[in-house]
Amino acid sequence: MKKIAAFTGSILMVALALAGCSKKGPEAKGAKGDKKVITVGYAQVGAESDWRLANTESFKSTFTAENGYKLIFDDAQQKQENQIKAMRNFIQQDVDYIVVAPVVETGWETVLGEAKAAGIPVILSDRQMKVSDDSLYLCWVGGNFLKEGRDSVIWLNDYLKKNGRDSEKLNVLLIQGTIGSSAQVGRTQGITEGLAKNLNYNLLAKQTGEFTQAKGQEVMESFLKQYDDIDVVFAENDNMAWGAVDAIKAAGKQPGKDIIIICFDAVHETFNKMMAGEINCAVECNPLHGPRVDSIIKTLEAGGTVDKIAYVDEGVFDEANAEAMLPTRKY
Ligand code: AHR
């Protein structure tokens, strides 16, 4: 199944090559028709957010022995060099597939080239890579971060209109994710382009909170010291928004009322905070990629083809629908 001489750049050809070879040794499909175990190395970003924990759980509960897999999981602690090291370990261990959620977009060519030379297909999940030659990876599945950013500003425009505030001048702050990650790049672009279309919005500052609650709180504390009149805060993930909520409360203001809070991910705790009126809007980012990657691998193993790029559908939630939606939410 593995050991394709080199990726061809065509998914169809890769799929045919995948289907045409089979792994030798005790794990191969035996004479009695035992199923082959597929070894998958997952180079995970880290454990920086509740979204990330749900994503890890999705992989661990999908890539099980019962489902025909051996999963080798690596937590890179938000460091690209750790992810590259993990990928090299996976290559050394001769895994059947490498799955990677890249911390940042750039800097992957060398290690992808090594995987290609070893004939190991690389599947990207969650965040994207920017590479000169996209035949270096097989395919990608994840959320549309640019659209998420755009949706957040569309929500703000509608909200202000509904509340008769659409002619107000508003001071806006942006707490960004890990700089250089496709989640940050896409959301920042969507948000800033959306804000620039309306002269009532004044973007005071943007700063990274590295997708963690502690850093989000720290950044919000410093914003509160620098600016007296803050109307809107965008936080590029839930956890940073929770940190911002704590900072705003500690400063004696009411999050969700004195300051409109908009964030991304939409995990359970954010629904609780929307129901409590502390967060106004959450744009969904779906972390349940385990079954999606499983389905890609099963398709390839069966000799089928997969889409190079597959976006997941995602919604927008707010105080108005949080209570009704919470029971339907899986993370
Ligand atoms: O790449 C997805 C982002 O990474 C999520 O928004 C964030 O919570 C996570 O850490």
Position 20 pLDDT exceeds 90: no
Shared domain for 107 and 72, answered yes or no, is yes
Same domain, 103 and 188: no
On whether residue 42 sits in a domain, the answer given is yes
What is the residue with the minimal CA distance to atom 3 of ligand 1?
Answer: 183
Whether residues 301 and 268 share a domain: the answer is no
Q: How far apart are CA 229 and CA 222, in angstroms?
A: 13
Is there a single domain that holds both residue 246 and residue 296? no
Residue 215 has what pLDDT? 98
How many helices and strands (H and E) does the chain possess? Answer: 11, 12
Number of domains in the chain: 3
Identify whether 319 is part of a domain: no
Q: What is the dihedral of CA 123, 128, 133, 135, to 10 degrees?
A: 20
Query: What distance in angstroms lies between residue 237's CA and the mean position of ligand 1's atoms?
Result: 6
pLDDT digits (tens, 9 = 90+) for 42-64: 999 999 999 999 999 999 999 99
| Residue 34 banded pLDDT, cuts 50, 70, 90 | low
Per-residue pLDDT band at 280 (split at 50, 70, 90): very high
With the most atoms of ligand 1 within 8 angstroms of its CB, the residue from 129, 237, 312, 331 to mutate is: 237
The CA 262 to ligand 1 mean position distance, Å, reads 15
Q: Is the pLDDT of residue 289 over 70?
A: yes
Residue with CA nearest ligand 1 atom 6: 237
Residue 115 backbone phi and psi in degrees, to 5: -65, -40
Mean pLDDT value of segment 281-302: 98
Amino acid at 214: A
Assigned domain for 165 exists: yes
- Closest atom of ligand 1 to 127 CA is 1
Distance (Å, rounded) from C-alpha 329 to C-alpha 267?
Answer: 8
What's the confidence (pLDDT) of residue 35? 72
Burial label, 23 (beta-carbon count in 10 A; 0-12, 13-18, 19+):
middle
State yes or no: pLDDT of 234 exceeds 70: yes
Per-residue pLDDT at 30: 39
322 within some domain = no
Which residues does 321 contact at the CB level (< 8 Å), separation at least 6? none
| Pocket-testing residue among 83, 265, 268, 331, ligand 1, by greatest number of atoms within 8 A of Cβ | 265
pLDDT at 2: 47
Inter-residue contact 139 to 310 (CB < 8 Å) = yes
Atom of ligand 1 nearest to the CA of 265: 6
**If you measure from the C-alpha of residue 50 to the centroid of ligand 1, how many angstroms do you get, rounded to a whole number?**
9
Q: Are both 108 and 200 inside the same structural domain?
A: no
pLDDT at 5: 35
- pTM for this entry: 0.91
Question: pLDDT tens digits for 91-118?
Answer: 999 999 999 999 999 999 999 999 999 9
Q: Cα(145) to centroid of ligand 1, in Å?
A: 10
User: What does the longest C-alpha to C-alpha distance in the chain come to?
Assistant: 74
The rounded Å distance from CA 49 to ligand 1 centre is 7
What is the atom index within ligand 1 of the atom nearest the CA of 239?
8
Q: Which domain holds residue 31?
A: 1-36
Pocket test for ligand 1, best of 127, 211, 242, 289 (most atoms within 8 A of CB): 211
Give the Å distance between the CA of 183 and the centre of ligand 1.
Answer: 7
Residue 87 belongs to domain with CATH number: 3.40.50.2300
Question: Is there a domain that residue 80 lies in?
Answer: yes
pLDDT at 9 over 90: no
**Pocket residues for ligand 1 (CB within 6 Å)?**
48-49, 51-52, 126-127, 183, 211, 237, 264-265, 285
What's the whole-number mean pLDDT along residues 277-303?
98
On average, the pLDDT of the chain sits at 92
Residue 323 maps to a domain: no
